[in-house]
Amino acid sequence: MDGSAVVESTAKRASAGLLFHPGHVWARIHSIDLVSLGTTDFAVDFVGTLASVSLPRESRVLRQGETAWTLVSGKRRVLSQVTPFGGMVVAVNDELIRDPGLIQRSPYDKGWLVFVRPRDISSMMADMRSCVAYRMWLNCIRGTMPLCLNSTTQPLMQEGKWVSKFGDHLTDVEWRALRRRLFPRSSDVGNAA
């Protein structure tokens, strides 16, 4: 088994039991009034090498669909991701301020971003997908994305999978175009594909 297959297999095991939002945000429901949120391995690879992360403060009330956190790459590319669950932030992962690369090394475990106490969890489930459904959707995206890239970026895929931190290899134009297409803004949240 090659290195990329081991990473893919590990990511699948770690993401089991999670729910996924079209903005490449995962959610782990701990109870009816506690949800942890993070970003997916696809999103962190799209950002490229992480330089910093901006998190909301504890006790901030987030509305469903508004920006929850911002990831910044070493190339100063900014990816803001929306929260699928509105409610009060009860914990933030301060370790990520000191070591943003933790998100890339462990996106589904130690790289969690925030814990939220949702207002009404049942009404916020409509945009969420199972792990299997998210992976199928992600495979469709991966199949069509190379058509949007110029020929010099085609080697970013190996055996049909994106290489780690592939965002570092995209041109600024490609990166911005894909960000608009793949990461909904707050006004796009009910309309994401």
**Residue among 72, 76, 66, 69 nearest 184 (CA):** 66
Q: Per-residue pLDDT averaged across 52-73, rounded?
A: 95
Give helix 3-15 / helix 131-144 axis angle, nearest 10°: 140
Spatial distance between the Cα atoms of 142 and 4, rounded to a whole number of angstroms: 15
Q: Which domains does the chain have, with CATH numbers?
A: 3-181 (2.40.50.100)
More confident residue, 155 or 47: 47
More confident residue, 179 or 13: 179
